[in-house]
Amino acid sequence: GENVEQHPSTLSVQEGDSAVIKCTYSDSASNYFPWYKQELGKGPQLIIDIRSNVGEKKDQRIAVTLNKTAKHFSLHITETQPEDSAVYFCAASLPRNTGNQFYFGTGTSLTVIP
């Protein structure tokens, strides 16, 4: 099956700096890679996603890059703000006969220091 690894587990940055979170996956058949932001006591919120036929996607201060050859993808947050503080999860989606199976990373706790 698929194995998703996520680094770092914790990350602290100064407000205004950039934050980068990296994930690797093991199964080259995975073709969809979403990123989720989870605030304390809430459910994960989809913030950006990328499909395997695209190398990069950007949405305002958030961008995701995908390297299919190396099997890794990264989340980039620029001009960080205190409200970006949360736990971020990456995921890889693997097509199956019974439907797509999702595999999650272990999460990165991001703290943006004002």
Partner 1 sequence: GAVVSQHPSRVICKSGTSVKIECRSLDFQATTMFWYRQFPKQSLMLMATSNEGSKATYEQGVEKDKFLINHASLTLSTLTVTSAHPEDSSFYICSAVQGQETQYFGPGTRLLVL
Q: What residue ranges bind partner 1 (CB under 8 A)? A: 32, 34, 36, 41-46, 49, 89, 91, 93, 98-100, 102, 104-107, 109
Q: How far is the CB of 85 from partner 1 (least distance, A)?
A: 15
Smallest distance from the beta carbon of 72 to partner 1, in angstroms? 18
User: What is the secondary structure of 73-105 as a DSSP string?
Assistant: EEEEE-S--GGG-EEEEEEEEE--TTS-EEEE-
10 vs 18, which CB is nearer to partner 1?
10
Nearest approach, Cβ of 112 to partner 1 (angstroms)?
18
Q: Which is nearer to partner 1, 12 or 18 (CB)?
A: 12
78 in Cβ contact with 101 (< 8 Å):
no
**11 touches 108 (CB < 8 A):** yes
Instruction: Name the residue nearer to partner 1 (CB basis): 18 or 61.
Output: 61
Distance CA 23, CA 35 (A): 10
Least separation in angstroms between residue 95's CB and partner 1 is 8
Comparing CB distances to partner 1, the nearer of 36 and 73 is: 36
Residue whose token pair is 């998703």:
4
